[in-house]
Amino acid sequence: MAPDRFGALWRSLEPIGRGTDGYHRFSWTYPDLACREWFAEEAADRGMSVETDGNGNLWAWLGDPALGDAVVTGSHFDSVPGGGGYDGALGIVSAFLALDVLADHGARPRRPIGVVAFAEEEGARFGVACLGSRLLTGALDPVRAAALTDRDGVNLPEAMKSGGVEPSLLGPDPQRLHRIGTFVELHIEQGRALSVPVGVASAIWPHGRWRLDLTGTGNHAGTTGMAHRHDPMLTFAYAVLAANKEARLHDALATIGRVSVEPGATNVIPSSVTAWLDARAPEQSTVDGLVTAITNRVTERAQRDGTTASVTPESVSPVTEFDTALRDRISGLLGGAPVLATGAGHDAGVLAAHVPTAMLFVRNPTGVSHAPDEYATDTDCAAGVDALAAVLEELACR
Ligand code: GLV
Ligand code: MN
Ligand code: MN
């Protein structure tokens, strides 16, 4: 595909949800709904039917999905706060363009082809990553999902309702899942692991999010002696350093990127601090050891601070090993495209536990992701479209 053909469709979506500090496309907010409208228009232009499932995932179909053994591709629209434009959206734009390449080739699909936009992949609004795909596959209890709230106290059903989706249908959807014969997600590569335009995923590292609840005693900053404080901010500060140190010792990754302090005033010793830990490593045993080590250190420090600490898992994903036969077939089809593992999570990792699943990665020249400077060239993106089209043709037309 000519890079400017990619660029033309890309730039029709690009402004939605973009601010001066990156993208803020949170599920069920105005930018997400605008992306969903864009999706419906692109699907209609291609003669596709569109449906939103009970979990808020958006599907477009070429052919009748009820026939089953469908080849489905897609990704997500939602972003992290201040995120890049490519994470997720690239997979959806590329999906529609890959269908255009198939049409240019006069390809005749023998199986239905679907394009999907999964809801709330980042977990930026409700805290659980891959919310839509987890609900679809039954990996997340709908009762737990319905109780999730955003930072303003709005719960998931209320948010979905505001987006025109009936929340009473939250939960596993085996009929819809069983229509899918193969799932392929194209995604921007999120480190600097790819030196050619397109690669194929081998695995997603085990990873997760844990909430740290640190409680102390609120008091006056001007009258409470240093020896008489129970300050959870100290426990928090120690937790940040402990996470960093233990990640290095375990040859793993740990990040504390979100914190909330109560009551949050300059002249008040905090009464509580809530922080969120993200931990990842190639092996599950390493992630388990890392989280245990951080928990032990924080618990011990809390005793010294006269505070309390608890660590609660919020969103945990085991390792994903993608279907090796499919991966090798795709790598071969793409002329020996490199095969690589990633530490980033994806809906494809959730789907892979149920249907043969593969991922294509598009080169990220700077390695920046989850930040405004995330970028891929139009030329590489167009190569990604061609690769995805070749994969869809192989899977759906032969
Ligand atoms: C998703 O982007 C994740 O890996 O956090
Ligand atoms: Mn992401
Ligand atoms: Mn993503």
Chain center to CA of 170 = 19
Atom of ligand 1 nearest to the CA of 345: 4
CA of 345 to the centre of ligand 1 (A): 4
pTM, two decimal places: 0.96
What pLDDT, on the 0 to 100 scale, is given for residue 360?
98
Longest dimension (CA), the chain: 79
Calpha distance 313→210 (Å, rounded) = 4
Alpha-carbon distances, residue 297 vs 208, 242, 290, 293 (angstroms): 19, 7, 11, 6
Atom of ligand 1 nearest to the CA of 343: 4
Per-residue pLDDT of the chain (398 residues; tens, 9 = 90+): 999 999 999 999 999 999 999 999 999 999 999 999 999 999 999 999 999 999 999 999 999 999 999 999 999 999 999 999 999 999 999 999 999 999 999 999 999 999 999 999 999 999 999 999 999 999 999 999 999 999 999 999 999 999 999 988 999 999 999 999 999 999 999 999 999 999 999 999 999 999 999 999 999 999 999 999 999 999 999 999 999 999 999 999 999 999 999 999 999 999 999 999 999 999 999 999 999 999 999 999 999 999 999 999 999 999 999 999 999 999 999 999 999 999 999 999 999 999 999 999 999 999 999 999 999 999 999 999 999 999 999 999 98
Query: Ligand 1: which residues within 6 Å by Cβ?
Result: 122, 129, 344-345
Cβ atoms of 33 and 41 within 8 Å: the answer is: no
Ligand number with the minimum distance to the CA of 127: 1
**Backbone dihedral region for residue 159 (phi beyond 0: left; psi -120 to 50: alpha; all else: beta):** alpha
Ligand number with the minimum distance to the CA of 90: 3
What pLDDT, on the 0 to 100 scale, is given for residue 168?
87
Cβ atoms of 27 and 120 within 8 Å: the answer is: yes
| Mutational test site, ligand 1, from 25, 130, 277, 346, max ligand atoms within 8 Å of CB | 346
Q: Whose CA is nearest to atom 1 of ligand 1?
A: 345
CA of 92 to the centre of ligand 2 (A): 14
Cβ atoms of 73 and 185 within 8 Å: the answer is: yes
Check residue 187 and report its DSSP letter: E
What pLDDT, on the 0 to 100 scale, is given for residue 177?
98
Alpha-carbon distances, residue 33 vs 38, 57, 153, 338, 344 (angstroms): 9, 12, 20, 36, 25
Cβ atoms of 116 and 55 within 8 Å: the answer is: no
CA of 137 to the centre of ligand 1 (A): 19
What pLDDT, on the 0 to 100 scale, is given for residue 199?
98
